[in-house]
Amino acid sequence: MRHRLARLRRLLDRLGPLLALIVMCVGLSIANRHFSSPENIIMILSQIACVSVLAVGETMVIIAGAIDLSVGSVLALCGVTAALLMTHGANIWLVMVAALAFGGFCGLISGLLSTYGRLPSFIATLGMMGMARGFALILTGGLNVFGLPPQFKSFASTSIAGIPLLVVIAAVVAIIAHIVLSRMAFGRAAYAIGGNAEAARLSGIPVNRAVTAHFVIAGFLSALAGLVLVMRLRESAPPTAGQGYELDAIAASVIGGASLMGGQGGIPGTMVGAAIMGVLRNGCDLMGVSPFWQQVAIGAIIIAAVFYDRLRRR
């Protein structure tokens, strides 16, 4: 009997977020017919594409036993830097490559400060968050960047088999990250480090180098999310973009089953967590619920998810 209950609990741990998402979708479809329309579903997927990319990087860092608070600010810095270069006539493809490299460099700094510098990842990335946001405001003078080239703006309206390009990018990132975490030694090492860093070190895993690499990936994906967001906005690149997105990324990871203690989580769960937040916000908008109450609801969900994780570990 105890064995069956334990197996049932493990099943609920894996499928609980997905079941919650299904219940939310069914309930909102009944409450508002417009919710289940293909146009609205595509809009939800487009809205969560940016946060989904951020959340993938955040999940990889959390699994390794750290946290990255700078992803939203790095998103803004890389986004406005790319926009400024493109408005001055730089090649679009070279600019995007440079922006991704710059995001990885920001992640490298955070990772080195956290591992070799022995700073808590919370403090290291908090400092990076402030610096990246400050540089974004300095570069733009606090003003939005306008005049993006038409070729770049056209990416937002590009579709593949009827699916927006931005959604395809998020899906490809999620699939690659899932393969890395579940099939490759690099990903399995992250679980080992998050579960017990000292045991991982004694078993021969280069802990500092591995954790730093996860920060680099998070920075790279933050830059990619910045490009995705600027594509979606089309007309401008605001230096205030991404404010609060680090919390959304952490929330998607935690709701999807990642533990802030490290060593647990996965990309499929994170995607479900991002979808839950997107569906919740969209449903509240359709029902006329104030955005302020939406923030309250998301905060309550985060607390409940973390509280459940603590109970599960006990």
DSSP state of 44: H
If you write DSSP's letter for every residue of 141-152 in order, what string do you get? TTS-EE---HHH
In a domain, 25, yes or no: no
* Amino acid identity for residue 48 in this structure: I
CB 85 within 8 A of CB 138: no
Count how many residues are written for the chain.
314
- Mapped onto helix, strand or coil, the DSSP state of residue 237 is strand
When divided into structural domains, the chain yields a total of 1
Pairwise CA distance, residues 90 & 167, whole Å: 26
Which amino acid does the sequence have at 120? P
Residue 150 reports pLDDT greater than 90: no
Question: Tokens at residue 240, please?
Answer: 């205030």
Domain membership of residue 253 as a residue range: 45-313
pLDDT at 5: 59
Kindly state whether residue 221 falls inside one of the protein's structural domains. yes
Question: Is pLDDT above 80 for 141?
Answer: yes
Asked whether residue 130 is assigned to any structural domain, the reply reads yes
Dihedral over Cα of 285, 287, 291, 293: its sign: negative
- Is 113 part of any domain? yes
* Torsions phi, psi for 70 (to 5 deg): -95, 0
Mean pLDDT of the region 14-32: 83
CB-count exposure of residue 30 (10 Å: 0-12, 13-18, 19+)? exposed
User: 33-90 pLDDT, tens per residue?
Assistant: 888 888 888 888 988 999 999 999 999 999 999 999 999 999 999 999 999 999 888 8
| Inside any domain, residue 12 | no
Split at pLDDT 50, 70, 90, the class of 6 is low
Give the global pTM: 0.90
Residue 292 within a domain: yes
State the CATH number of the domain containing residue 54.
Answer: 1.10.3470
With respect to residue 28, please indicate whether it lies within any of the assigned structural domains.
Answer: no
223-249 per-position pLDDT tens digit: 999 999 998 887 788 888 888 888 889
In a domain, 10, yes or no: no
Collapse the DSSP code of 244 into the 3-class scheme (helix H, G, I; strand E, B; otherwise coil) and give the result: coil
